[in-house]
Chains A and B, each alone.
Chain A
Amino acid sequence: MTISWVLEILDAELLTGQGAEGRELASACGSDLMSDVLCLRSAPNLLLTALTNPQCVRTAEMAEIAAICFVQGKKPPAETLELARRNGLPLLATGLSMFTACGRLFAAGLRCCGEGA
């Protein structure tokens, strides 16, 4: 599933990473606790979170997560946007709740990394 498809499914906006819309995302996870994300055996391609501080971008950097989507209409502060731009990380934002956002992506076929279908 490409980023542009995720944008469509989640009614989301692309905040950084213009030009990366074609990037493939094969797995996703939703969490607001960074260490929970980092302990996943193989990191997901897409992280859904309500956490908007720069640490989510750091987490993405360490775990090689390909994109982050902020849920619940949360907009990240300037430091987060800047770090994401510097790292070339696409940031998405949706007004949907975590539950609904995950539900829609699951229904569209996206799965958690490491779990079967």
Chain B
Amino acid sequence: MDSPRHVGKIRELVYELKVEAVMTRKLITLAPEAPMSGLRSILKSNRISGVPVVSGQTLVGLVSVEDFINWLAQGGRDCPVGERMSREVRTLSPGEPLVHAIGKLEQYGYGRLPVVDGERLVGLVTKGDIIEGLLQEMQVNSREEEELHRYRASHFFEDMIADRLTVNFQYQVRGKTIEQGGEVASDLKRSFKRLGLHPEVVRRAAIATYEAEMNVIIYAREGTVDVSVDPETIHIIVRDQGQGIPDIQQALQPGFSTAPDWVRELGFGAGMGLPNIRSCARSLDITSEPGQGTTLRISIPLEPERVCA
């Protein structure tokens, strides 16, 4: 992400974000009757430079380091805070945009501004609160933008100009143990997301590819996955030169499996792979020659409404 864009984003955010989104709600306050002599330790132990003074919940003033120093300079005779506090307090309301808060802090040179809802004190805003709030919002924003970036790509096909357009992805399945299987499906899924395909379509393509890839690893050791995407359809062709399937109709029955026990122990052999592929796709075509290998042709429409269940 480039910095000019960040600056632009911050500029937008200071108008969008409200004071209540960044203000501190846990407040240290004093009653007007509190002694001036106690102020120093309160400021020091909380590392703050001013304390709102409230009567009940109503903001009646603000007492700061400056007031304290003035009080000391004039003898430091103990008195209630209410006698030395500043009564002319600039405040913010919770619904104001951050840009107002920044402007007021700047204009008056204050370190903090109390936030009041009517007369009731509800929070306090410092420059630190504003920076923290903005940073947090930027983080959320960049996550959302990533999402947006993905879906912006869904215009890919609309943006390209050609009489006929297909995007091809080719993968090899080779030298993988069962535990290592799934990489092709994972890579394809990531690529489809980047291409901006509909999430449901991506999910179906990923599941179908995963099942086919695992079958290649388990029953044929190696093979290839060729995927082409045109503006209407995803075509996935999975080929292997393995043992082949003697009875395709039988293999397509839910629950039919020839997986040996050690494969079952690894979580496969439910006999649901091919049925799953079929339910993810609009069509599944299997050709197989015993001893020669197997080819699966899977097609999935790009419009999720047209995917049959």
Interface residues of A (CB under 8 A from B): 32-36, 38-39, 41, 43, 49, 51, 53-56, 58-59, 61-64, 79
In the complex, the answer to whether A53 meets B179 with C-beta atoms within 8 Å is yes
- Do B267 and A34 have beta carbons less than 8 Å apart? yes
A51 to B189, CA, bound (A): 23
Given contacts A53-B266, A62-B189, is CB(A35)–CB(B203) below 8 Å?
no
- Whether a CB of chain A sits under 8 angstroms from the CB of B23 is no
Are B203 and A61 in contact, with the CB atoms below 8 A?
no
Q: Are B267 and A55 in contact (CB under 8 A)?
A: yes
Q: How many A-B residue pairs have CB under 8 A?
A: 72
Given A43-B203, A58-B181, output 11 extra A-B contacts at Cβ < 8 Å: A33-B267, A33-B272, A35-B211, A51-B266, A53-B266, A54-B182, A55-B266, A58-B210, A62-B186, A63-B207, A64-B203
Contact partners of B181 in chain A: CB under 8 A: 55, 58
- B269 adjacent to chain A (CB < 8 Å): yes
A49 vs B266: C-alpha distance when bound (angstroms): 12
Q: How long is the Cα–Cα vector from A62 to B182 in the complex, in angstroms?
A: 9
| CB pair A35 B270 closer than 8 Å | yes
* Residue numbers in B under 8 Å from A59 (CB-CB): 210, 267
The 22 sampled A-B contact pairs (Cβ below 8 Å) are: A34-B267, A34-B268, A38-B207, A38-B272, A39-B272, A43-B203, A49-B267, A51-B266, A53-B178, A53-B179, A53-B266, A54-B179, A54-B182, A55-B178, A55-B268, A58-B210, A59-B210, A61-B186, A61-B189, A61-B206, A62-B206, A63-B203
List, in ascending order, chain A residues with CB within 8 A of B185's CB.
58, 62
- A38, A51, A56, A59 — which one has the most chain B CB atoms within 10 A of its CB? A38
Q: How many residues on B have C-beta within 8 angstroms of the other chain's C-beta atoms?
A: 27
Q: B172 — which chain A residues lie within 8 A by C-beta?
A: none
* Nearest 4 pairs of A and B residues by beta carbon: A58-B182, A35-B272, A33-B270, A35-B270
Given contacts A39-B279, A62-B207, A79-B179, contact A51 B267 (CB under 8 A): yes
A57 (CB) vs chain B CBs: closest residue: B182
Would B182 and A39 count as touching, CB distance under 8 A? Answer: no
> Is B180 touching A54 in the complex (CB atoms < 8 A)?
yes
Give Cα distance in the complex from A116 to B89, angstroms. 58
Inter-chain contact A41/B267, CB cutoff 8 Å: no
List the A side residues contacting B276 at CB < 8 Å. 35, 38-39
B114 in contact (CB, < 8 A): no
